[in-house]
Amino acid sequence: MTSKFLRSILGVAVFFAVSAWAQTSSAATPSNPAGSPATSPSVAATGTGTKLGTINIEQAVIGTNEGRRDFDALDKKLEPKKNELKAQNDELDGLQKQLQTQGDKLNEDARAGLVKQIETKKKVFDRSVQDAQEDAQNQQKEVFSRILQKMAPVIVKYAQDNGLGMIVDTSNPWPQSPILWAGEGVDITKSVVDIYNAQSGVAAPASGAAPKPAATKPPTAGSTTPKPTPPKPN
């Protein structure tokens, strides 16, 4: 979905969004009888159940009807910039091919001028790519964080209703994640997405597949970030 840097930022956002809501929810609906010791915030944040659940937060957010709609809209919004970068990249390719095929036939001044032109345009292109990537990542982060803030209470309530004492995010596969293996039976991603969709009232997009967050590199860069998948049983 995103770069490792953005993924780490979103990981922090997930922790604070879910744990903050868990503590708020616990404070609003205390379960201890009158006079009994109050539950500590750390215990409230992890729940009082005994079962373990896993969720792929990235897939959950992108898999919601709202996420599919908004990331698809963002992809369309960024399309002109991607086309602009492709045009710049094609122009650079043309100049480099010209240098390769005609360089030995040009006089010294003409060749030096062509080399200078390529260097100048490459600097402009590289800067444009960097700016476009940063802009896309910021907009992806905004969409992701906005949906996550609304999903956090859904996750916490699901955990409370189903006796889960801990939920682990499996967005990153091992070894990036400490989770080596987890069975499909403990994964709550689909359940949370279904509940969120029902509560959001956002209709499913016409396209069947969930869109990937917009990429901004030109096609010739050949670089796309693979989607992480939850660990599968052997």
Question: For residue 221, what pLDDT is reported?
Answer: 39
Question: For residue 50, what pLDDT is reported?
Answer: 79
Closest C-alpha among 126, 122, 124, 140 to residue 78: 140
Q: Is the pTM of this model over 0.75?
A: no
**In the 3-class helix/strand/coil scheme, how is the chain assigned residue by residue?**
CCCHHHHHHHHHHHHHHHHHHHHHHHHHCCCCCCCCCCCCHHHHHHCCCCEEEEECHHHHHHHCHHHHHHHHHHHHHHHHHHHHHHHHHHHHHHHHHHHHHHHHHCCHHHHHHHHHHHHHHHHHHHHHHHHHHHHHHHHHHHHHHHHHHHHHHHHHHHHHHCCEEEEEECCCCCCCCCCCCCCHHHECHHHHHHHHHHHHCCCCCCCCCCCCCCCCCCHHHCCCCCCCCCCCCC
Phi, psi values for residue 88, rounded to 5°: -65, -40
Rounded to an integer, what distance in angstroms lies between the CA atom of residue 184 and that of residue 193? 16
Note whether 230 and 56 are within 8 A (CB): yes
Rounded to an integer, what distance in angstroms lies between the CA atom of residue 147 and that of residue 192? 13
Q: Could you identify the residue written with the tokens 């991607």? A: 82
Question: For residue 209, what pLDDT is reported?
Answer: 55
The full set of domain ranges for the chain reads: 4-27+41-221
pLDDT per residue rounded down to tens, the chain (234 residues): 444 434 444 544 444 455 455 455 444 444 444 443 333 333 334 456 679 999 999 999 999 999 999 999 999 999 999 999 999 999 999 999 999 998 888 899 999 999 999 999 999 999 999 999 999 999 999 999 999 999 999 999 999 999 999 999 999 888 888 888 888 899 999 999 999 999 999 999 886 555 554 444 444 433 333 333 333 443
Measured over all CA atoms, what is the biggest interatomic distance in the chain, rounded to whole angstroms? 93
Rounded to an integer, what distance in angstroms lies between the CA atom of residue 184 and that of residue 91? 49
Closest C-alpha among 160, 171, 164, 199 to residue 185: 164
Rounded to an integer, what distance in angstroms lies between the CA atom of residue 17 and that of residue 134? 23
135, two tokens: 């802009």
